[in-house]
Amino acid sequence: KSNFSFLEGASHPEELVETAAGLGLEALALVDRDGVYGVVEAHVKAR
């Protein structure tokens, strides 16, 4: 979960993408609660 899941996630979507890329992962699931608010930032970083 990203920081868009209030009181549940702490990482920014961009940081999650950067970490996943650094680990060699080809896919990442962003599972924020009650919305997909961080998906745009994650997508922009992933490009």
Please report the pLDDT score of residue 15 as a whole number: 92
Does residue 2 sit within a domain?
no
Residues 8-25: tens digit of each pLDDT: 888 899 999 999 999 999
Q: Is residue 4 part of a domain?
A: no
Parent domain of 33: 13-46
| Listed residue (21, 12, 8, 9) closest to 47, CA to CA | 21
30, 2 Cβ separation under 8 angstroms: yes
Is residue 20 included in any domain, yes or no?
Answer: yes
Any domain includes 7: no
Is the pTM value of this prediction over 0.85? Answer: no
